[in-house]
Amino acid sequence: MNKPVTAEIISIGDELLYGQILDTNSKWLSEEMDKIGVRVVRKTTIGDDPEAMIEAFKSASKKADIILMTGGLGPTKDDLTKNVLVDFFNSSMKLFPNALEDVRKFFESRGRELSPTNRSQAYLPSNCTYIQNAVGTAPGMWFEENGSAWMSMPGVPHEMKYLMENAVIPRIKEKYKLPVIYHKLIKTIGIGESWLSDIISDWEDQLPPHIRLAYLPSLGEVKLRLTGFGESLPPIVKEVDDQIAKLEPLIAKYIYGYNTDTIASALGHELIQRNENIAIAESCTGGYLSHVITSIPGASNYFNGSIIPYHNTYKEHLLGVSPETLASKGAVSEETVIEMSKQVRLKFNSTYGLATSGVAGPGGGSDEKPVGMVWIACHDGEKCWTRMLQLTKDRIINIQLTSTASLNLLRETILHNRK
Amino acid sequence: MNKPVTAEIISIGDELLYGQILDTNSKWLSEEMDKIGVRVVRKTTIGDDPEAMIEAFKSASKKADIILMTGGLGPTKDDLTKNVLVDFFNSSMKLFPNALEDVRKFFESRGRELSPTNRSQAYLPSNCTYIQNAVGTAPGMWFEENGSAWMSMPGVPHEMKYLMENAVIPRIKEKYKLPVIYHKLIKTIGIGESWLSDIISDWEDQLPPHIRLAYLPSLGEVKLRLTGFGESLPPIVKEVDDQIAKLEPLIAKYIYGYNTDTIASALGHELIQRNENIAIAESCTGGYLSHVITSIPGASNYFNGSIIPYHNTYKEHLLGVSPETLASKGAVSEETVIEMSKQVRLKFNSTYGLATSGVAGPGGGSDEKPVGMVWIACHDGEKCWTRMLQLTKDRIINIQLTSTASLNLLRETILHNRK
């Protein structure tokens, strides 16, 4: 096997060390490097601190062929990356006229004057290749120094992504001979990591050393990742796919999809195939379940709509749950979610009606119905499938787990109807 | 000033380097360290690779007083942290009977048998202090070695948080004399970073060196963070608060709150104070706007509910938008969002009705109504406030920006009514 081309990701910004923003950039960068066969060997996060930056740059240049840096390029006074790069490369700062022109045009197109602060963004280290940022004002900078390729980008996610897609990834593909890595993800739902591991243990033990397995658990789901390494793609793809063919019968009822499929996208695909559609009555999930479904492009093909009768009055008056049921059983009950799913299905003239009602927390619990108790239902016109969930004390986690479980209930209903 | 107590966060897992999961743990850990005055100086992410782990451990022990490690403690075969810690500390693996007892009880309470894989989780490095994990099966391990304190925790977020809150933070507070840091966040909405920076530039320049300013932009919002450093809290709090009192008049109309306030929580507080409530008709936001509102505990005090008439039929039949308006102006129009906000306000008998309708993308655009074109409206019973947004090509970003802009429109409506 060829020596892999390696990358390090350096994220710069006090706000990352103080924990005041979540670093989604480095995850995205990792995924993109992985796709083109570059191996990310480390990610380092440091503050707006010149000493820490120099130390990180030195260490990275020993460790990786490609160093991707984000952050510290804004127009404001706490942004230091450019100056530190000048020091590190023993370079000097100079005005790049084309950078100035691009920043000017950027503001012109929005009908705004160039501020002095924005003007300073056209001064860059003289040894860099200027990379135009068409979606923002902080320019990208590409360096080839010390045997490594260096790219400095702003920390604003859509600007960073623009620079990567339009300049950095093409340059990396041109400069390096990239090895072959093949990943495949198997997405499961409704079973925990340990139980999955016990079921597939014998299969796992017979994997050859150049095919690796990882468990990636998340709320209500476990992804299995198989990674094959080799010299050319077709034999690796075949080997990995053959292994997956052996795995599938062991856990068939838990698998909902592969790779970039989500439970929502897999269900959407299935509903389109079957020419069916859904409507939702959300109480405790408060819009999140609908959001998960409508995050998928094209959801309008199978999602008719929702009613969120958050206040109990509207469970009766807008959705049509009977006042007797609400009075005798309460909003969080099997009887209520059955009526909710039945009514919403009728109101939106849909194949399936989904409903959620529970105590999301942190307040509102009782001995009989504690925080984390949730009822969900899926009505297919003939039968209503229900489930009670006993979740956590955390409001957001309860909302997310309920949504995932509701989608799984819909999946099981569809599977049942398919038989 | 005392020498600060420093921490490094080491996140372990191939899935982080491959970009297949988002690291939310290190953000949370950073925030918690920040709150108790521990300075996070670096975050390092490495794979399930013994050599990289040893290198990171060595480097961390030179850099930080406290080393917080997450990941690689699961029951499955790709989890290596425990074995590498044994090597690194030149220790040995032994069975901790109390750990075995705790794992056994964990499964017993869930009515399940201990699997052989789970049993192996009670074997730990002999030099560690075993820390009970009451919410999962991977034990925590605390070490005091090489002049540093080390803590190894599972990567599952709620397990890591349980260990931090119940064992690690109390131990750190006991072991170290912690210095004083005071942060205050000022939350603004409706103005970009550069414009904000130009408005407050003179104020920024007069800040003393022990008070630092940072700009934290996110979708549709900019947070300003002031950080004061010193020896005791009261004078720092006073100095920072005095600086903020000077800042506020410059940008008063953009400030919606402070510190942990979100635009949704600040509006919730305001609605409770005014004994008012809201209802929402969501089209292009598909449930996300309701979710943002219902993420706030106690939202049921002011959020009556929503209708999501995703398919146009239901804008007419369920919500009551006139078929003439839909036919002549289309669903994405000022006229339609005005009717949506008016109707949903009446249906839910609410003080305010909010409505969204737009082309979220990536499909569905036309020359006249391109992807990213959105109309939002807020009806207060007398007047309807509307705004047209020209957003991006990205579906999820459009959904988020529309929700933030809708909340800002509600804020402005309330501000207007308050006069």
Q: Are residues B242 and B95 in the same domain?
A: no
Nearest CB neighbour to B15, from listed A16, A214, A364: A214
CATH code where residue A91 lies = 3.40.980.10
Low-confidence ranges of chain B (pLDDT < 50): 1
Residue A67 has a pLDDT of: 98
Asked, for residue B369, whether it belongs to a domain, the answer is yes
Residue B2 has a pLDDT of: 59
Q: Are residues B188 and B162 in the same domain?
A: no
CB contact under 8 A, B18 and A32: no
Q: How many domains does chain B have?
A: 3
Nearest to B180 by CA among B386, B34, B349, B290: B34
Q: Are residues B341 and B386 in the same domain?
A: yes
Residue A78 has a pLDDT of: 62
CB contact under 8 A, B318 and A27: no
Nearest to A4 by CA among A149, A225, A151, A177: A177
Q: Which of A9, A28, A31, A42 to mutate to test the interface with B (most CBs of B within 10 A)?
A: A42
Residue B257 has a pLDDT of: 97
**pLDDT, tens only, A1-57:** 458 899 999 999 988 998 888 999 999 999 999 888 899 999 999 999 999 999 999
Q: Are residues A76 and A213 in the same domain?
A: no
Q: Which domain holds residue B320?
A: 266-418
Q: Which of A40, A78, A262, A294 to mutate to test the interface with B (most CBs of B within 10 A)?
A: A294
Provide the total of helices (H) and of strands (E) in chain A, helices listed first: 16, 17
Q: Are residues B138 and B279 in the same domain?
A: no
- Which segments within B146-291 are labelled E, that is strand? 148-153, 180-189, 211-218, 221-230, 255-258, 278-282
CATH code where residue A328 lies = 3.90.950.20
Asked, for residue B328, whether it belongs to a domain, the answer is yes
Q: Are residues B203 and B317 in the same domain?
A: no
Q: Which of A77, A169, A203, A349 to mutate to test the interface with B (most CBs of B within 10 A)?
A: A77
Q: Are residues A141 and A203 in the same domain?
A: no
Once rounded to an integer, what is the mean pLDDT over residues A313-320? Answer: 95
Residue B1 has a pLDDT of: 47
Nearest to A402 by CA among A230, A286, A241, A262: A286
Q: Are residues A122 and A212 in the same domain?
A: no
Asked, for residue B393, whether it belongs to a domain, the answer is yes
Q: Are residues A225 and A100 in the same domain?
A: no
Nearest CB neighbour to B42, from listed A45, A294, A310: A45
CATH code where residue B197 lies = 3.30.70.2860
**pLDDT, tens only, A260-305:** 999 999 999 999 999 999 999 999 999 999 999 999 999 999 999 9
Whether A224 has a pLDDT exceeding 90, the answer reads yes
Nearest CB neighbour to A19, from listed B27, B300, B303: B27
Q: Are residues A204 and A297 in the same domain?
A: no
Domain boundary among B175, B196, B230: B175
**pLDDT, tens only, A48-94:** 999 999 999 999 999 999 999 999 886 666 678 999 999 999 999 99
Do residues B35 and B25 make contact, with C-beta atoms less than 8 angstroms apart?
Answer: no
Asked, for residue B368, whether it belongs to a domain, the answer is yes
- CA–CA dist A242, A235 (Å, integer): 10
Asked, for residue B1, whether it belongs to a domain, the answer is no
Do residues A341 and A379 make contact, with C-beta atoms less than 8 angstroms apart?
Answer: yes
Asked, for residue B89, whether it belongs to a domain, the answer is yes
Q: Are residues B125 and B185 in the same domain?
A: no
Asked, for residue A393, whether it belongs to a domain, the answer is yes
For residue B19, list chain A residues with Cβ-Cβ distance below 8 A: 26-34, 40
CB contact under 8 A, B19 and A28: yes
Domain boundary among A238, A258, A278: A258
Share of residues in chain A with pLDDT > 70 (%): 98
CB contact under 8 A, B297 and A212: no
Domain boundary among A175, A195, A226: A175
Residue A1 has a pLDDT of: 47
Of residues B217 and A141, more confidently modeled: A141
Q: Are residues B243 and B271 in the same domain?
A: no
Nearest to A307 by CA among B361, B53, B317: B317
CB contact under 8 A, A290 and B300: no
Its ipTM equals 0.81
Nearest CB neighbour to B215, from listed A76, A118, A395: A76
Nearest-CA distance from B219 to chain A in Å?
Answer: 10
Asked, for residue A364, whether it belongs to a domain, the answer is yes
**Exposure class string for B112-136: b at 16+ Cβ within 10 A, else e:** eebbebbbebbbbbebbebbbbebb
Residue B52 has a pLDDT of: 94
